[in-house]
């Protein structure tokens, strides 16, 4: 298979991505060409979606953020370092981020929300030498785990993005296929956040016992 020949471990190398893309382009191209050659644009679209409205509502996101903090873009907003040793630098060539290794290190982000308040934090997850990111919003806290879940065999370091949002109906979401993606904390963390409001979110290094794991890296925070 493509994976066995060019897999390279836990993730396929670029030839696999290219072959999958070429295959999809070939299939879609043939479908469009066949449809157009018959003098029509294909089947008439259905008058409704395939997915229930409650489930589609959980997938909505913003096309244009109202606030952007990006370690890769110097023209975006800058967080306020309030404690510890947070610094913006590259721990790997070409991979900048706000990095801290001192427990209690914190930085604040001023966020602007739109009609459907939500924000996202992109941070580093790894299999070693990594701690947790504690997210604070008003009196609520949420912990982003830096390590892969227990039993996960991935020996890689990847950026992970966590979206926080105001859930309009907890009961509605619980009845959908996305219920397993959320915990009670997901529903309560942004409870009471008003549309079109402005709030401060604080990100801190959550202390751990193993001194070798005292590090977190945040690369982007956006809100809409």
Contact between 18 and 6 (Cβ < 8 Å): no
pLDDT of residue 63: 80
**And the tokens for 38?**
């018959």
- What's the rounded Cα separation, in Å, for the pair 78 and 38? 56
- Residue partners of 186: CB distance under 8 A and separation at least 6: 164, 167
Mean residue pLDDT across the chain? 82
Which one, of 209, 28, 198, 11, lies nearest residue 114 by Cα?
198
Q: Which residue has the tokens 């953020």?
A: 65
Query: Can you list the positions of beta strands (E) in the chain?
Result: 67-70, 80-83, 87-92, 95-100, 106-112, 118-125, 132-137, 140-144, 158-165, 198-206, 216-223
The 3-state DSSP class for residue 77 equals: coil
pLDDT of residue 171: 46
- pLDDT over 90 for what percent of the chain? 47
The 3-state DSSP class for residue 184 equals: helix
Output the pTM of the full model. 0.73
Containing H/E element for 35?
helix 14-37
pLDDT in tens, 26-63: 998 887 777 666 665 555 555 677 777 766 766 667 78
């Amino acid at each position: 298979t493509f994976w066995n020949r060019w897999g390279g471990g836990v993730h396929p190398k670029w030839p696999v991505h290219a072959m999958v893309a070429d295959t999809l382009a070939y299939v879609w191209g043939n479908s469009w060409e066949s449809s157009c050659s018959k003098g029509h644009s294909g089947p008439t679209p259905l008058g409704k979606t395939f997915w229930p409205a409650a489930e589609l509502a959980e997938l909505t996101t913003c096309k244009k953020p109202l606030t952007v903090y990006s370690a890769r873009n110097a023209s975006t907003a800058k967080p306020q370092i309030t404690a510890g040793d947070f610094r913006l630098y590259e721990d790997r060539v070409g991979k900048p981020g706000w990095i801290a290794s001192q427990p209690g290190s914190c930085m604040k982000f001023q966020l602007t929300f739109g009609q459907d308040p939500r924000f996202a934090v992109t941070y580093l997850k790894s299999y070693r030498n990594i701690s947790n990111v504690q997210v604070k919003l008003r009196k609520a806290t949420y912990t982003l785990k830096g390590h892969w879940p227990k039993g996960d065999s991935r020996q890689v370091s990847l950026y992970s993005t966590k979206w926080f949002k105001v859930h309009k109906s907890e009961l509605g979401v619980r009845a959908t296929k996305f219920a397993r993606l959320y915990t009670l904390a997901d529903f309560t963390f942004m409870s009471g956040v008003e549309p079109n409001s402005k709030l401060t979110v604080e990100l801190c290094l959550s202390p751990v016992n193993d001194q070798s794991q005292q590090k977190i890296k945040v690369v982007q925070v956006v809100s809409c």
